[in-house]
Chain A
């Protein structure tokens, strides 16, 4: 068994999705997360088993609404989507073909997607085409992740466009910036995956547009509206983070012998491993907790708890940490501030500032 697979052990692997990859790029320095994701460990199950269930959940109302909206946009062979794309991308009106890749067996989908796109890029389809449920792949730290964009649009002599269907509203041309940013990060993952595929096939990767099509409900109605979103910045960030991400091999080499994140599922799939054992194994790999993890990573509460036990200033957020100029522990920073601890080399400046700040606080609160 490969070392990376041993890390997951007998637990069935959990595939990456674009959201996970986008989040991975948000915290590329976290070895714990890189390894768990690389090995395909179900972090959600692990967190629950550890007694630190993730704070995420989706309301059934939101799920229903999202599904309804996607169904509406895709109904009748994406008729509604087509109407919008014609205006937005100037797709040829008459000759639009629609391929639903989902109709083939799941194991064949990736190969099928590849073949379809190969033909399209060679110009064998002579019409604008929509590909529903294509399956793309992307190499993440030496491992292949499979990804499923909502729709890919292809336009004759033109370019591929990733289409992302989201159910948050665009009101008067404005949407929730956080939601748009998340959608853009996710779409950037698809753009990168599609570009990589075309490059492997020997085509110009830049035929995949960096303008993705975001389809959302307009105002307070269910009527969809399509907008182009430029994801060049997200792409650049993603590419940089993915290359910079310590390759798993190097991380694996540093692991103690026999370390595994195996949940040891029983016949009913529920983990049987002692939670304390699993926690010890996880602590064997360094995490880099930041409050942002609370909205992206299943393990966030476990890592936050660990950061609390260590008294790490990471708990307070990146801006506090930056302000402290690299003093990582709360105790150390407070020691420097009240002068009970002598600054180590390189800490003289921050120690002087902290002492000044402490003096001023005492002065004002006395």
Chain B
């Protein structure tokens, strides 16, 4: 956490209202998100109990496992869930655009993609487990499960994995997105409670949010008191209707909160790079759907060495680029870097647009700009700089002293003898320069999986579906 966020948290505590720590929204919000609130049976790894979900806030769907320890009912629940979720997940595949690539065949990318909104990180983890416990099942053979179950398992696995991918918006944990944009006056641990965090953002913090009788937990775990006083007797009683109604009371408050949270996030204007990241999401979504259509195997239980290294490298690059993009999109996030001396902002007080360097053939246009700033600049001369005001422009720090920074523009001012119009900031303009750059980073060079060296366990075994996977106990 940065000092700016800490300060915002202090201010929130003093004012009794969460404080903004972002000026734009850094995640994509779908026009038709799928809000998904799963509940699980306490004490079990991945026994679904109920789920409230849907794309229409007026009409939530509710599915319930009336006897959560019954394996058949559990599969029936998953089959019903598949019947309702799969059409949504696949509905974005029809409309595509053709993307041309250098040195590769063009491919089709969906124009829009599904978006799963979950209350919290634990909900995402449970979604992953639900995916894991169903994706290896088979619809034929000795232990057949209903159609759609293994397919849903693969989708849920994919979507839960995307939640860990920096900058992806296919699956969002709402508490995480809220606390990326607002600092509450409570600790990160308490921020994981959706009702409590929402209360802070709406400026009415209260301990009621922690009272399970007022605000049932947003799942996937249910309140222990509810379990012993309501759910256990209802299960004992065996009435499916009674169990369903009991679980509805636990889910409905969270359902309403989820949509309110989405509304709140929507009040912020979308950050400039969000569309670019959503484009990656759309590409990833289309790619995954293609894999499914081509009959690829279900996702491995564990990544092999090469797959793991390449996933890590992809995620690291995504994280780096996400961090830089957010700083470029949002002055309040750039402020963190200004405070630490990696960026500075101020007013242009002097320019020399037709400054040249070098002689003869190596004579180059290097416009000079002097910026007056109050920020502590801790950068040595020669530092390469970029600026959010003119993406694609490169500059180099010449000198920084006494609140005046001189820099020369090295890239992005045209090839002529004079700088392209608008490429050199005018005197009086407010500008920000930083050492952060979102330069393209090549993928790590890794061997083919078949050539995994013995130090990393040798080539991974090829996945062959077998009956053991299909009949894996789900007790």
Contact = CB atoms under 8 A, between A and B. Distances in A.
Given A220-B472, A291-B190, A320 B45 contact: no
A60 B228 contact: yes
Contact of A220 (B14, B225, B473): B473
Nearest to A170: B45
Most buried by A among B223, B228, B302: B228
A315 interface: yes
A6 B7 CA distance: 44
A61 B187 contact: no
Contacts of A361: 4, 7-8, 332, 335
A171 interface: yes
A315 to B, nearest CB: 7
Interface string B312-341: 000000000000000000011011001100
A317 B189 contact: yes
Interface in A270-308: 291-292, 294-295
Contacts of B282: none
A295 B7 contact: no
Nearest to A219: B472
Contacts of B289: none
Instruction: Identify the interface centre among A223, A337, A357: most chain B CB within 10 Å of its CB.
Output: A357
A317 B132 CA distance: 34
B41 interface: yes
A315 B183 CA distance: 13
A182 to B, nearest CB: 15
B382 interface: no
A57 B224 contact: yes
Interface in B1-38: 1-4, 6-11, 13-14, 20, 23
Contact of B232 (A60, A172, A313): A60
Interface in A51-71: 55, 57-66
Contacts of A172: 132, 301-302
Interface string A306-326: 000001010111011001100
A59 B190 contact: no
B54 interface: no
Given A59-B224, A330-B14, A360 B339 contact: yes
B23 A365 contact: yes
B46 interface: yes
A323 B475 contact: no
B227 A61 contact: yes
A334 interface: yes
Nearest to A325: B3
A184 to B, nearest CB: 19
B43 A167 contact: yes
B127 interface: no
A217 interface: yes
Contact of A317 (B187, B224, B228, B338): B187
A323 B45 contact: no
B42 A291 contact: no
B129 interface: yes
Interface in B103-128: 125
Nearest to A294: B189
A64 B185 CA distance: 38
A59 to B, nearest CB: 3
Given A59-B42, A330-B13, A323 B189 contact: no
Contacts of A94: none
A226 interface: no
Nearest to A308: B13
A59 B224 CA distance: 4
A173 interface: yes
B246 interface: no
Interface of A: 55, 57-66, 167-169, 171-173, 176, 217, 219-223, 291-292, 294-295, 311, 313, 315-317, 319-320, 323-324, 330-331, 333-334, 337, 353-354, 356-361, 363-365
Nearest 10 CB-CB pairings of A with B: A62-B43, A169-B45, A59-B42, A221-B473, A291-B187, A65-B43, A57-B224, A317-B187, A59-B227, A360-B335
Interface of B: 1-4, 6-11, 13-14, 20, 23, 41-46, 125, 129, 132-133, 185-190, 210, 221-225, 227-228, 231-232, 301-302, 331-332, 334-335, 338-339, 345, 374-376, 472-475
Given A61-B44, A353-B3, 13 more contacts: A57-B223, A57-B225, A59-B227, A171-B46, A172-B132, A220-B46, A223-B473, A316-B13, A317-B187, A320-B6, A356-B376, A357-B3, A357-B339
